[in-house]
A = this chain, B = another copy of it.
Amino acid sequence: MRSIIYTCLIIGSALVHADTHYQVLTSTKRDVNTENWNLSSSDFPEYKGKDRWSVSKRTLHGGKQEGVELIEVNNGKLQFRVIPTRGMSVLDVVHGDVRLGWNSPVKEVVHPSYINLHDRGGLGWLDGFNEWMVRCGLSFAGHPGEDKFINNVGAEATMNLTLHGKIGNIPASQVVVIVEKKSPHRIRIRGRINEVSFYGPNLSIWTEISTVPGSSAFRISDVLTNHGTFEEEFQIIYHANFGRPLLGEGAKLLTASSKIVPFNKNAAEAINEQRVYNAPTKGFTEEVFKIYPKSDEMGKTTALMINPKGDRGVSISWPVQQLPYLTQWKNTAAETTGYVTGIEPGTGFPHNRNYERKYGRVPKLAPGESRSFELDFKIHPSLKDVENATKKVNALQGAEPPKVHKNPEE
């Protein structure tokens, strides 16, 4: 019955713009939420390409997944899954035998109503952590712990920040699928998430993940806006997580950087092996490295994750001005613990906001101001492709190696 009602609404919301096919899947303003939907190249007369693409939405059922929405995109070569219910996180990306993603002990796509971020001393976020890419933020990201804020009577009060903030556990209020009618027919999945409280921050982010039929690349293109009255702090970290098949003993992360600093004492002891990954190691404690990326003449930097054989990889490129800091999270623990590494461009590092503020890494947005974040991901499916990508990162690094700190600081 619900679906029938929706069908009517959906007809209304599949607007045929001049240049795009524009489909509203969710809109709290218009009281629309679509449980099941799909669109494919077959339905799309303007498309003459050879790669058969599709976009579909469905709703998961059972256990902690009950009611979780999933959008599945296949560009004919590359498939990815977006979770509107969990802040438009990207569950995984598949390209032939390359999978961006990892095997978390958390197997279900957990509905936010089952997450208490304050649980386990502020680590409740980890009860749902299994996505390839989850945004951390917006009002705060990083480690849990106390920070100050101004409360409802204008007084300074203390609150417990929780690990990596709220945005990954807020459902999108608006979700739109846009397909360009003209070649190259870019497919865009957009979702808006609001992080807002009365007497609190009023931030929103319009997320977009897009790809072109038949491509091995995709792009994340977000706009974060302060709708509040005052200048407002924000933090965002793109927490992209890689397990097998890219991660393995001898896998490497190549970056071009001016400086690399260990996050803590544990990381400091492993600083000499920062680039290379170990085999799964029972009892491994996370090692985190703070990388200050170098940019090319276009202002962009690139990080390159390569598999142990060197014949598969993925590169991430982004403007350094947008995301000036890169965190490498090594968690080469046992497979059952979660064998994974995070490559995490951000507006700061994942210390508690309190700490980040001290070191000038908590940016602010003026009222009404927006800031864009654009990340390009490209799969390198062959030795040749990986070699070419490696050359570019090495060229960007140039002759001068990064200053590698032996001790944690800042």
Q: Which chain B residues border A60 with CB–CB below 8 Å?
A: 28, 31
| A–B Cβ pairs within 8 angstroms, 18 of them | A1-B2, A27-B62, A28-B108, A62-B173, A63-B172, A64-B171, A105-B196, A105-B227, A107-B194, A107-B196, A114-B170, A114-B171, A123-B200, A153-B285, A154-B286, A199-B337, A202-B336, A229-B336
Q: Are B229 and A337 in contact (CB under 8 A)?
A: yes
Complex CA–CA separation, A172 to B333 (angstroms): 28
Scoring A residues 27 to 42 as 1 if CB is less than 8 Å from chain B, else 0, what string do you get? 1110111011000000
- Counting contact residues on chain A (CB < 8 A from B), the size range is 35 or more
The chain B residue with its CB closest to the CB of A284 is B154
Scoring A residues 158 to 174 as 1 if CB is less than 8 Å from chain B, else 0, what string do you get? 11100100000011111
Closest 3 CB pairs of A and B: A1-B3, A63-B173, A33-B61
In the complex, whether A67 has a CB less than 8 A from a CB of chain B is yes
Q: Which of B3, B26, B198, B227 has a CB less than 8 Å from the CB of A62?
A: B26
In the complex, whether A250 has a CB less than 8 A from a CB of chain B is no
In the complex, whether A152 has a CB less than 8 A from a CB of chain B is yes
The chain B residue with its CB closest to the CB of A193 is B63
Main secondary structure of the interface of A (DSSP, over half): loop
Q: Are A28 and B65 in contact (CB under 8 A)?
A: yes
Complex CA–CA separation, A26 to B63 (angstroms): 8
A residues sitting closer than 8 Å to B (CB atoms) are 1-5, 26-29, 31-33, 35-36, 60-67, 104-108, 112-114, 116-121, 123, 126-127, 129-130, 149, 151-154, 157-160, 163, 170-174, 194, 196-200, 202, 227-230, 264, 266, 282-283, 285-286, 333-334, 336-338, 367
Closest Cβ of chain B to A61, distance in Å, is: 4
Q: Are A63 and B120 in contact (CB under 8 A)?
A: no
Contacts A28-B60, A105-B197 aside, 19 further interface pairs with beta carbons under 8 A come to A26-B62, A26-B63, A28-B63, A28-B107, A32-B62, A62-B174, A63-B173, A63-B174, A64-B171, A107-B196, A108-B194, A114-B171, A123-B197, A123-B199, A153-B286, A154-B266, A198-B338, A227-B336, A230-B282
Q: Which chain B residues border A228 with CB–CB below 8 Å?
A: 105, 336-337
| Residue among A62, A106, A173 with max Cβ neighbours from chain B (10 Å) | A62
Q: Which chain B residues border A105 with CB–CB below 8 Å?
A: 196-198, 202, 227-228
| Residue among A60, A61, A160, A286 with max Cβ neighbours from chain B (10 Å) | A61
Complex CA–CA separation, A159 to B202 (angstroms): 29
Q: Are B116 and A117 in contact (CB under 8 A)?
A: yes
Q: Which of B112, B121, B286, B334 has a CB less than 8 Å from the CB of A159?
A: B121
Q: Are A118 and B120 in contact (CB under 8 A)?
A: no
Q: Which of B158, B229, B264 has a CB less than 8 Å from the CB of A334?
A: B229
Q: Which chain B residues border A116 with CB–CB below 8 Å?
A: 116-118
Closest Cβ of chain B to A191, distance in Å, is: 10
Q: Are A129 and B63 in contact (CB under 8 A)?
A: no
Q: Are A33 and B120 in contact (CB under 8 A)?
A: no
Instruction: Using A1-B2, A105-B196 as known contacts, say yes or no to A154 and B63 having CB atoms under 8 A apart.
Output: no
Q: Are B151 and A123 in contact (CB under 8 A)?
A: yes
Complex CA–CA separation, A334 to B228 (angstroms): 9
Q: Are A196 and B118 in contact (CB under 8 A)?
A: no
Q: Are B121 and A171 in contact (CB under 8 A)?
A: no
Complex CA–CA separation, A130 to B113 (angstroms): 21
Q: Which chain B residues border A202 with CB–CB below 8 Å?
A: 105, 336
Q: Which chain B residues border A229 with CB–CB below 8 Å?
A: 282-283, 333-334, 336-337
Q: Are A171 and B31 in contact (CB under 8 A)?
A: no
